[in-house]
């Protein structure tokens, strides 16, 4: 009965991906760094789609000023740890998947081993210092990384396939200081949904990924454009043989 | 533009290069167009291109800081690679180069 209910919940996507695809999603393990504006959108759609195992890492607690965009949280969550508040909400959304929460700062974490069992890493972070750590973990373990970032009415997304495409450091070798940039909730949601779509495509082997393509969304104009990007042989993270230790899974 | 380089160009010793520049997000509004082709004499650097493009204080303020450095909030890519890692303002341009200019987005 419970199994039937689980299949029933995916009825509207089975026509697209089939039972075989749905089982692939159920077997997939996704690591999501950041449960903010991007992360809450990614989490919602991946949990709803039936990704079998999701781990969420975020160092922060919910603040009232998060609620314009971080759609998993409500006023009663203010003060609670984001990762745990997100898991609680997602369990009611889909009780058939495994969810794990961790409140920690990626800057203080050794990620390499932590992420080794995952199929996909999602960058839903809000700073490049932590992104570089996630980028190196992705390269070291050979695990694809789906990058997203937002500011104002604009968003960007790309997919990093270690050893094959440009990595985050290839594209952004350094980062300026950004003090809590203003951002519109729907733009976070849109970019997060694009990231979730990339994750699902990657797991199922469908369509074309944003490989060596940085997609930029312009919310003011309602347009999106791509910038073709390339690996840098001199990239400090992926440029030489020294860092790329893992076997690419792509 | 160095005097010698300018003199050589004016005397027809240097060929023209075509550089395609793409403006994305708010740079598209700032520069009033999505794409532009700029002709520069061979041997030109990114600095010369940006000097040609940034013909107002508003444009200069978004692209340069302290007049001599690139604004770190502007991402400038040459043929898909950040110029920050390939010479910055001194990056040498070549005929057919594609330069993309877009804002640095870091939030989540």
Q: How far is A204 from chain B (nearest CA, A)?
A: 26
Q: Tell whether A171 lies on the interface with B, counting CB pairs under 8 A.
A: yes
Q: Give the residue on B whose Cα is nearest the Cα of A124.
A: B108
Residue B44 inside a domain? The answer is yes
**Domain interval for residue B94:** 16-103
pTM, rounded to two decimals: 0.93
pLDDT, position B6: 67
Residue B23 inside a domain? The answer is yes
Residue A217 CA to residue A194 CA, distance in Å, equals 10
Residue A206 CA to residue A199 CA, distance in Å, equals 10
**What's the distance, CA A164 to chain centroid?**
19
Residue B37 sits in a domain whose CATH number is 3.10.20.30
Contact check, Cβ <8 Å, B81/A170: yes
pLDDT at residue A240 above 80?
no
Total CB pairs under 8 A between chain A and B: 93
Residue B8 inside a domain? The answer is no
Contacts of A237 in chain B (CB under 8 A): none
Q: Tell whether B25 lies on the interface with A, counting CB pairs under 8 A.
A: yes
| Sheet of strand B35-41: strand arrangement | B35-41, B16-23, B98-103, B74-78, B81-82
pLDDT digits (tens, 9 = 90+) for B84-107: 888 999 999 999 999 999 999 999
Mean pLDDT computed over every residue of chain A: 94
Q: Which two tokens stand for residue A198?
A: 């990339």
Q: Give the residue on B whose Cα is nearest the Cα of A234.
A: B85
Q: How confident is the model at residue B9 (pLDDT cuts 50, 70, 90)?
A: low
Domain locations in chain A?
2-228
Instruction: Please state the rounded mean pLDDT for residues B80-85.
Output: 94
Residue B41 inside a domain? The answer is yes
pLDDT digits (tens, 9 = 90+) for A13-53: 999 999 999 999 999 999 999 999 999 999 999 999 999 99
Total domains present in chain B: 1
pLDDT digits (tens, 9 = 90+) for B38-70: 999 999 999 999 999 999 999 999 999 987 899
Reported ipTM: the value is 0.90
Query: Least CB-CB distance to B80: which of A36, A39, A229?
Result: A229
Query: Which one, of A166, A173, A103, lies nearest residue A139 by Cα?
Result: A166
Contact check, Cβ <8 Å, B106/A171: no
Query: Least CB-CB distance to B107: which of A171, A183, A227?
Result: A183
Class of domain A2-228: alpha beta
pLDDT, position A241: 56
Contacts of B81 in chain A (CB under 8 A): 170, 229-230, 232
Q: Tell whether B94 lies on the interface with A, counting CB pairs under 8 A.
A: no
pLDDT at residue A250 above 70?
no
Query: Least CB-CB distance to A227: which of B80, B84, B107?
Result: B80
The DSSP string of B71-85 is: -TTEEEEETTEEGGG
Contact check, Cβ <8 Å, A218/B75: no
Q: Are B97 and B86 in contact (CB under 8 A)?
A: no
Beta partners for A98?
A: A53
pLDDT digits (tens, 9 = 90+) for A147-182: 999 999 999 999 999 999 999 999 999 988 777 889
Contact check, Cβ <8 Å, B107/A148: no
∠ CA B15-B17-B19, rounded to 5°: 170
């Amino acid at each position: 009965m419970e199994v039937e209910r689980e299949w029933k919940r995916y009825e509207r996507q089975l026509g697209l991906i089939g039972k075989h695809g749905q089982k692939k999603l159920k077997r997939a393990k996704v690591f999501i760094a950041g449960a903010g504006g991007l992360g809450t959108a990614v989490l919602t759609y991946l949990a709803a789609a039936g990704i079998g195992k999701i781990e969420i890492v975020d160092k922060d607690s919910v603040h009232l000023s998060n609620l314009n965009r971080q759609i998993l949280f409500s006023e009663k969550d203010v003060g609670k740890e984001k990762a745990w508040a997100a898991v609680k909400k997602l369990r009611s959304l889909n009780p058939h998947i495994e969810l794990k929460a961790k409140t920690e700062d990626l800057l203080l974490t050794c990620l390499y081993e932590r992420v080794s069992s995952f199929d996909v890493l999602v960058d839903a972070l809000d700073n490049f210092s932590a992104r570089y750590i996630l980028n190196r973990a992705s390269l070291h373990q050979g695990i694809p990384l789906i990058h997203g970032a937002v500011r104002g009415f604009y968003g960007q997304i790309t997919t990093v396939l270690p050893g094959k495409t440009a990595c985050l450091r290839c594209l952004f070798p350094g980062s300026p200081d950004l003090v809590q940039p203003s951002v519109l909730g729907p733009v976070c949601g849109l970019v997060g949904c694009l990231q979730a779509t990339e994750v699902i495509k990657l797991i199922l082997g469908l369509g074309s990924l944003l490989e060596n393509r940085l997609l930029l969304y312009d919310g003011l104009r309602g347009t999106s454009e791509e910038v073709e990007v390339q690996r840098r042989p001199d990239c400090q993270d992926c440029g030489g043989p020294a860092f790329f230790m893992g076997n690419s899974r792509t | 533009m160095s005097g010698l380089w300018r003199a050589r160009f004016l005397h027809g010793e240097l060929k023209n290069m075509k550089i395609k520049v793409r403006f994305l997000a708010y740079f598209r509004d700032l520069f009033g167009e999505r794409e532009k082709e700029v002709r520069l004499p061979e041997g030109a650097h990114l600095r010369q291109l940006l000097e040609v493009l940034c013909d107002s204080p508003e444009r200069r303020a978004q692209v340069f800081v302290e007049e001599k450095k690139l604004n770190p909030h502007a991402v400038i890519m040459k043929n898909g690679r950040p110029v920050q890692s390939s010479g910055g303002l001194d990056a040498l341009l070549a005929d057919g180069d594609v330069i993309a200019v877009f804002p640095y987005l870091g939030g989540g």
